[in-house]
Amino acid sequence: MATLEIHDLHVSVETETGSTEILRGVDLTVKQGETHAIMGPNGSGKSTLAYSLAGHPKYTVTGGSVTLDGEDVLEMSVDERARAGVFLAMQYPVEVPGVSVSNFLRTSATAIRGEAPRLRTWVKEVKEAMARLEMDPAFAERNVNEGFSGGEKKRHEILQLELLRPKVAILDETDSGLDIDALRIVSEGVNRVRETGEVGTLLITHYTRILRYIKPDHVHVFAGGKIVRSGGAELADQLEAEGYEQYTKGAAS
């Protein structure tokens, strides 16, 4: 069973004025089949956690450990992490000019599976996944994220999730900027992958509304670069009612 273990993770980011510590001792264990919601105010370091797990070069790990099934994730390159089964749906997906969605997906699947998927079954797989996400087939020939609307970008992230089948899915504000229909469609995609029981999901969000569609097993409040409280789904309801203020007071920002 795949398990992601984060222990006392400290991460700094380099800026013009020097190095600033953003993550200040994150502890979290995500097992296959579990869904953990990470909720917190803007600027608390949620995306920094997501990027650090994916291996973004801007973030320097200064302490702690991250393992996937006992393997040291922090020692791995970005590619190796993806092959090991770590998937990141970015808060702000980047444009890849000159690369079509179709090519991008096939290249990613080839890299992750270690061999090119058979063309015939692959084309069918992509078509069906796109249909489930209510995406126009013509979308496959557009360049990755170029001129995509907010909703299209997020659907494209979930399309990757459905096709690449990672062990750990980190979804960074996949709900932001979505209208109510897109939110439902995207959430249904996450739930389909989740229901396979094969993925551990880290659902990072600022708002509780996505949790109406995706029921987390655990909810963590993130403030000042670490988890300050953990609970079950009821913690999200409490946050909805009370906000983050009680957690941000006194927290270094």
Give the footprint of ligand ADP on this chain (CB under 6 A): 13, 15, 22, 40, 42-48, 58
SS3 229: strand
Closest CB 46 distance from ligand ADP, rounded Å: 3
Among 15, 16, 17, 42, binds Mg ion (CB under 5 A): 42
In the complex with ligand ADP, which residue's Cβ is closer, 106 or 206?
206
Per CB under 5 A, does 32 bind Mg ion?
no
In the complex with ligand ADP, which residue's Cβ is closer, 92 or 146?
92
2 torsion bin: left (phi>0), alpha (psi -120 to 50), beta (else): beta
Residue 32 contacts residue 2 (beta carbons within 8 Å): yes
Residue 90 contacts residue 169 (beta carbons within 8 Å): no
Report which residue type is found at 94: V
Per CB under 5 A, does 17 bind Mg ion?
no
Closest CB 35 distance from Mg ion, rounded Å: 19
Query: Residue 39's beta-bridge partner residues?
Result: 205, 221
Q: Which two tokens stand for residue 144?
A: 């990755």
Query: Residue 60's beta-bridge partner residues?
Result: 12
Residue 86 contacts residue 167 (beta carbons within 8 Å): yes
Closest CB 206 distance from ligand ADP, rounded Å: 7
Closest CB 26 distance from ligand ADP, rounded Å: 12
Interacting span for Mg ion (CB under 5 A) from 34-42, 116-124, 159-167, 189-197: 34-42
Contact positions vs Mg ion (CB under 5 A) = 42, 46-47, 91
